[in-house]
Amino acid sequence: MKVQTVLGLVDASDLGRTLTHEHFSLDFTCFYKPPPVHLQSRYEGCISLQNLGFIRQMPYSSKDNLKFDGSATNEAVLNDVLAYKKYGGGTIVENTTFGLNGSVQMLKNVSENTNVHVVAGTGFYVADLQNQSTLSMKNEDIYEHMMTELTVGYDVDKSIKAGFMGEIASVWPIHEFEKRVIKATGEIQEQLGCGVSFHPHRDKAAPFEVMRLYLEAGGRANKAVMSHIDRTLLDDESVLEFSKIGCYCQWDLFGVEVSHYQLHLPTDMPSDAQRISKIKKLVDEGKIDRILMSHDIHTKHRLIDFGGHGYSHIINNVLPKMKMRGFDDEQIDQITIKNPANWLGF
């Protein structure tokens, strides 16, 4: 099997330990949440030791934190990926799609300067972030856009091709534009055999509906990833029921250890220990080949240079904890090496 990276095709067996849902470059300021009035001064200006503790509690209340681009962020991302390589990382899958204003040239630069394989995605983020022209795109236009980036290359740099579709994002109820994107995704997957990564809304019915639309369009369940299981399917019964569909269940918010979840206040964000427990339950159900892990880093404060855990957090902190919880090396390699290779390979 082969995998399309930003530097060309590589053997799936050469990916090594892989993070399947990360970001290198985007603008997340559209999700800004004003802080409490009495704390407003703590969230003004740049990240510092004086306000980092506050930002960890409410990361979406700092506009500086949400600007995940520019020279300082680019340098921090590069340093972070170098650390990931140093500690044993092999590949990072970058999930920034149309609407989040990412840079594929940045992905190529990181890969060239770190020797880490980087896989770029194609697709569209939620309808709320699209302009009217994009929202008016017909199914065939959406199909052509993604197919071109997968087979020909990106308009800004034809030397770079996408290696999967994702993150394909939707709100709830699913917007008509998003339904067209999901349909096109299923049609392309059936034709090319490439991997797909979905970003569902936070309603627990959303992952089931996304997969229904995708499967009806011809997509294969075993080439699809449902992201953000950690903040969407909170009870064991829902996770086990969803796992029967046959797609990958991805816990991709490792490193987020604050229970207060600004983007959906009724949800208590789980800890890493709780994430490991959820994964263990699915392993015990015989679904180890359906599990993926990542961090979904998309704000400055989670990068090492800004006081965060970085892309190497799972390797340095989570995998040792998993071993303490009874996972053996073979199981860890299955989740972090073999499963990503099987998902991305074609």
Task: From first to last of the 346 residues of the chain, give the pLDDT tens digit.
Answer: 999 999 999 999 999 999 999 999 999 999 999 999 999 999 999 999 999 999 999 999 999 999 999 999 999 999 999 999 999 999 999 999 999 999 999 999 999 999 999 999 999 999 999 999 999 999 999 999 999 999 999 999 999 999 999 999 999 999 999 999 999 999 999 999 999 999 999 999 999 999 999 999 999 999 999 999 999 999 999 999 999 999 999 999 999 999 999 999 999 999 999 999 999 999 999 999 999 999 999 999 999 999 999 999 999 999 999 999 999 999 999 999 999 999 999 9
Does residue 142 contact residue 115 with C-beta atoms inside 8 Å?
A: no
pLDDT the model gives residue 193: 98
pLDDT the model gives residue 307: 98
* Cα three-residue angle 52-58-63, rounded to 5 degrees: 75
pLDDT the model gives residue 251: 98
pLDDT the model gives residue 255: 98
Residue 77 CA: distances (Å) to CA of 22, 35, 48, 73, 157: 11, 26, 17, 6, 21
For residue 167, whether the previous peptide bond is cis, meaning omega lies within 30 degrees of 0, is: yes
Q: Which fold has domain 2-344?
A: TIM Barrel (3.20.20)
pLDDT the model gives residue 53: 98
Kindly list the domain boundaries of the chain, sorted by start residue: 2-344
Residue 25 CB neighbour total at 10 angstroms: 23
pLDDT the model gives residue 34: 98
pLDDT tens track for 173-191: 999 999 999 999 999 999 9
* Cα three-residue angle 275-308-66, rounded to 5 degrees: 95
The helix or strand, by DSSP H or E, that contains position 225, with its residue range, turns out to be: strand 224-226
pLDDT the model gives residue 327: 98
Q: How far is CA 323 from the centre of its chain?
A: 24
Residue 192 CA: distances (Å) to CA of 4, 21, 78: 12, 21, 31
pLDDT the model gives residue 52: 98
